[in-house]
Amino acid sequence: MLLALVLLYLAVSISIGLYAATRVKSASDFVVAGRHLPLPFIVATVFATWFGSETVLGIPASFLRDGLRGVIADPFGSSCCLILVGLFFARPLYRLGLLTVGDFYRIRYNRLIELTTSICVVISYLGWVSAQITALGLVFSILTQGAVSPWQGMCIGLAVVLVYTLLGGMLSVAFTDLFQMAVIVGGMIYIAVVVSGLAGGAQVVIDHAEQQGLLAFWPAANPREIIGFIAAWATMALGSIPQQDVFQRVGAARNARTAGLGSTLGGCLYFVFAFVPMFLALSATLIDPQLVSAHLADGRSAQNILPLFVLGHTPLAVQVLFFGALLAAILSCSSATLLAPSVTVAENILRPFFPTISDRQFLRMLRIVVFCFALAVLAFALFSNRSIYAMVEGAYKVTLVAAFVPLAFGLYWRRATTQGAALAMAAGISTWLGGEVFAPEALLPPQFAGLLAAIAGMLIGSLAPQHYARGTGQHPDVAFEHARQASPHASSGPSHPPAPHAHPGQR
């Protein structure tokens, strides 16, 4: 009965996605939904993209092991990322009318910076999307009581996601996200009420968490703990900002105000509801402590605690709502995170090699890249032994050290130059990789050292005498403003400003 109802939910989700796919007429529709989505859709896509497998499966397991300090990256860092995007990045980026965040690096700096940051962005998605596919395999295996193995579940789940993502792109994602957000919010509230009743009430659960020391948030007063705390927050809060999935959501809004407000509200909503799975896991420690302790002893199987607890201790209605909400979270996150890097590959890596490609041909290229990236993600998920939370948390290190500084300084520091961006990326990546290889346990975590090196590289490279070629020789302000004005608006096709090798230099 449970499996039949879950399959019915999947059929409804696919139907909604396929309906939205009938409205895709151009690459702009496929990538940014024609840039006309109202506020409810933007809030839903932002929320549903981030409320994924790590929120329902990964975060509760980390919370039970390490308390609130163990989840500083997600949800604290991730929700801060969305709020920061809404407050400081959504409006200026939206007004540029770009197709991808990678386009900004070309307009502000040059083609080489665009290519390098785009590759870093694409690499960062392997861990995140793989976490969602891994979770889909886990859910299908649990629902079928082992009749479907985890790897078979991964293949089935990926096939479901591909059906509507390939056809409808961002339009399908937006429509399904709105439906799935309603399922997640309604389902999680009802489940929390039922489970807290089984545990003796919400106050009993919270008191138990406090007695166990799980609600301690601030780090111990020593340099290593404090720096590690800040680094974990920054990895997600700042490293997630230059991501295509975030940009796609704000870029799909009908105007700049909707883009900023939608991201901010989505981040706040995510922060609130990310605590519901943690509350459910806490309740499980009171209702079935043997189950929790047995799975916590094995780090990787800790992510199975909530699904097994729900199956063993709750009525059918709660089981249907839980697995419906879980699948809604994973499917929405999978489709969004599968589409984003594929668009970056097509627009910022491949398309410059085909300058005369038509909009229809580019749309075909997008779909081919989505399919190929899905196969790469499946391979990565099958051979990875990392937990869901670890895969997600580690995904943003490369964008933190390589892409965040050129984006933030490019938007808000007029003196930022291409030379500064190049030096920032080189210093950030080399410092991070060197730290990972030679000093992974150093006082400064490798990715945090890489961030500081990138900032130093941007300042030194931009303020020093400029030896990096300026391309067209245009005055930097003129070149950047020309590129901004030349960017197409919502109704036109893919954004690809003229003179892709020009160096806009300073803003």
- DSSP string covering 395-414, please? TTHHHHHHTHHHHHHHHH-T
Residues 6+ apart with CB under 8 A from 116: 402, 425
Per-residue pLDDT for 331 more than 60? Answer: yes
pLDDT at 300 over 80: no
Mean pLDDT, to the nearest integer, of 190-203?
Answer: 91
Residue 504 has pLDDT above 60, yes or no: no
Element (H, E) at 310: helix 305-313
Q: How far does Cα 405 stand from its chain's mean position?
A: 18
How far is it, in rounded angstroms, from Cα 337 to Cα 41?
17
Q: Which of 106-110, 139-143, 221-225 has the lowest mean pLDDT?
A: 139-143
pLDDT at position 307 over 60: yes
Radius of gyration of the chain (CA): 22
State the average pLDDT over residues 194-199: 91
pLDDT of residue 283: 93
What sign does the CA torsion over 180, 181, 182, 188 have?
Answer: positive
Buried b (16+ CB within 10 A) or exposed e, 220-252: eeeeeeebbbebbbbbbbbbbbbbbbbbbbbbb
Mean pLDDT to the nearest integer, 94-115: 90
- Is the model's pLDDT at 234 over the cut of 70? yes
Tokens of residue 303, six digits: 């992510």
Higher pLDDT, 469 or 14: 14
Of 259-268, 382-391, 469-478, the least confident: 469-478
- According to the model, what pLDDT value does residue 72 have? 93
Q: CA angle at residue 229 from 56 to 249, to 5 degrees?
A: 50
Q: Amino acid identity, residue 438? A: F
pLDDT in tens, 444-492: 999 999 999 999 999 999 999 988 654 433 334 444 555 455 444 433 3
Stronger pLDDT, 392 or 506, i.e. the higher one: 392
* Torsion-angle region of 80 (φ positive above 0: left; ψ -120 to 50: alpha; else: beta): alpha
Is residue 332 within 8 Å of 180, Cβ to Cβ? yes
Q: In Å, what is the CA distance from 504 to each residue of 251, 295, 413, 458, 497?
A: 22, 54, 13, 16, 12
**CA 55/CA 348 separation, integer angstroms:** 30
Quote the percentage of the chain above a pLDDT of 90. Answer: 38
According to DSSP, residue 253 is labeled: B
What pLDDT is recorded for position 304? Answer: 82
What is the model's pLDDT at position 387? 58
Task: Give the model confidence (pLDDT) of 401-433 as tens digits.
Answer: 999 999 999 999 999 999 999 999 999 999 999
Q: How far is CA 192 from CA 140, 336, 403, 501, in A?
A: 23, 27, 39, 54
Q: Provide the pLDDT for residue 477.
A: 44
Q: What is the pLDDT of residue 89?
A: 95
Q: Which amino acid is at 378?
A: L
226 vs 53, more confident: 226
Helix, strand, or coil (residue 37) = strand
User: Average pLDDT for residues 344-359, to the nearest whole number?
Assistant: 89
Rounded to a whole number, what is the distance in angstroms from the first to the last CA of the chain?
60
In angstroms, the CA 503 to CA 471 distance is 5
Distance CA 121, CA 99 (A): 15
Average pLDDT over residues 232-245: 91
Find the mean pLDDT for residues 244-261. 89
Using pLDDT thresholds of 50, 70 and 90, give the confidence band for residue 117.
very high
What mean pLDDT comes out for the span 306-326? 85
pLDDT the model gives residue 478? 45
Does the structure show a pLDDT above 50 at 399? Answer: yes
Q: Which two tokens stand for residue 62?
A: 């980390």
Chain mean pLDDT for the chain? 84
Which residues lie below 8 Å from residue 143, measured CB to CB, with a gap of 6+? 2, 3, 6, 323
Dist CA 181 CA 53 (whole Å): 14
Q: Is the pLDDT of residue 394 over 70?
A: no
Mean of pLDDT values over 308-334: 83
